[in-house]
Amino acid sequence: MGKTIAEKILSAKSGKPVSAGEIVEAAVDYVMANDITGPAAFDEFDSLCAPILRDKVVLIPDHYVPNKDVSSAVQAKKMRDFAARHRVKHYFEVGRGGVCHQIMIEQGFVAPGRLIVGADSHTCSYGALGAFAAGIGSTEAATVFARGVLWFKVPESMNCVVNGRLGKHVSGKDIILTIIGDIGVEGARYASMEVEGSSISSLPLSDRITIANMGIEAGAKACIIPPDKKVDDYLKGRVKGRYRHVLADDDAFYSDVREYDGNEIVPVVAKPFLPSNVAPASEVKVEIDQAYLGSCTNGRIEDLRIAARILKGKKVHRNVRMIVVPATKEIFDQAAREGLMKVFSEAGAFVSGPTCGACLGGYMGVLAPGERCISSTNRNFVGRMGAKESEVYLASPAVVAASAVKGRIADPSEVAR
């Protein structure tokens, strides 16, 4: 019996052939923590009285930065002090970093065949480049700081195959929401989702990251897209160290195989209060108060370009406030060079530097009771972006931009050819 990508990576990192269901101890390439999850990890690490494996540790303040209050400033200072005390070289200060998952990819920590863990559930994003990446707790992160290894239960793998030519306004966000709408929020519980097919191969890396990012919303331990030349082209001159592609064997066993026709996928929206509550955007005629474009899910330059093309020469609806947040400084600077900031500003949108603030209802964009937001983020649980009485609708950058113009949730074809 052949092996899946997850089995192959965990076999390589544990130094022996392993199969689904086994418990293994595997060598981790990198471990990441942010300003929310880091402080608890730092306390736990200090109690171990062990030297730090500083080359493996990546610290990125992003959730409550710039700091919104004294408590968040204390959290950020604790990370800053820890990084200085232990001479952690991979520390990304405010103004020189951005949203943690995009930074991990941009800065070359992520590559095919690697095993990466992060004290954040959306660490699975890195599977877009062919890595096995999983979210862990702060205590687990502390042990990796010290030992560089972690135990895993080798997950079963499921295969999601998407073939066919995608429509003009259909994106990776529409694909993953369609899959989650099909299998549900527990449909891939503790599985490694392998997502492939001609539709996936046609996507730019940015859309693949969106797909992998939301694997956790189906309960997946990891979400992996087979690496190809597009990944190699992106990593050229960027990646740290060497890597090699890891692909599944032809006779690998999958616990579930799902096939989707890319021709039939349309722009969709996940209605409150689950990412699985999916419907075509054209059928959800709901007025909105806010439109949010950004986050580790859809804050890349490609996402901003899509929204800018729709917004150019138009205005954000008078009853809507639109917030645009590039995921990193690199993306922010590139958007400025390309004139996208001018497009957003002239349309009446508010543009911010990189932060996770609005996504988790932390600050900047918090919703009041009764307000509705169309958002390019990854979760729409009760109270996710503010008041428990507010509502969040998840969608692609194209749907977010079109909705901002119309003042209600809209299919992009309503405002753009």
For residue 416, the model assigns a pLDDT of 81
Residues 301/274, Cβ–Cβ less than 8 Å: no
Which tokens in the block code for residue 129? 């480049």
For the chain, the C-alpha Rg in angstroms (whole number) is 20
At 321, is the secondary structure helix, strand, or coil?
strand
Amino acid at 357: G
Domain 268-414 has CATH 3.30.450.20: no
The CATH superfamily holding the domain 5-260 is: Aconitase, domain 3 (3.30.499.10)
**Going by C-beta distance under 8 Å and a sequence separation of 6 or more, which residues neighbour residue 413?**
168, 169, 282
**Residue 33 per-residue DSSP state:** E
Which tokens in the block code for residue 289? 């108060």
Alpha-carbon distance 353 to 98, whole Å?
A: 8
**Residue 86 per-residue DSSP state:** T
Helix 329-337 crosses helix 340-347 at what angle (to 10 degrees)?
80
For residue 417, the model assigns a pLDDT of 73
Full pLDDT tens readout for the chain, 417 residues: 799 999 999 999 999 999 999 999 999 999 999 999 999 999 999 999 999 999 999 999 999 999 999 999 999 999 999 999 999 999 999 999 999 999 999 999 999 999 999 999 999 999 999 999 999 999 999 999 999 999 999 999 999 999 999 999 999 999 999 999 999 999 999 999 999 999 999 999 999 999 999 999 999 999 999 999 999 999 999 999 999 999 999 999 999 999 999 999 999 999 999 999 999 999 998 999 999 999 999 999 999 999 999 999 999 999 999 999 999 999 999 999 999 999 999 999 999 999 998 898 888 899 999 999 999 999 999 999 999 999 999 999 999 999 999 999 999 999 987
Query: What are 235-290's pLDDT values in tens digits?
Result: 999 999 999 999 999 999 999 999 999 999 999 999 999 999 999 999 998 999 99
Q: Where in the chain is the domain with CATH 3.30.499.10?
A: 5-260, 268-414
Alpha-carbon distance 219 to 215, whole Å?
A: 7
How large is the greatest C-alpha to C-alpha distance in the chain, in angstroms?
61
This prediction has a pTM of 0.97
Alpha-carbon distance 178 to 199, whole Å?
A: 13
For residue 1, the model assigns a pLDDT of 79
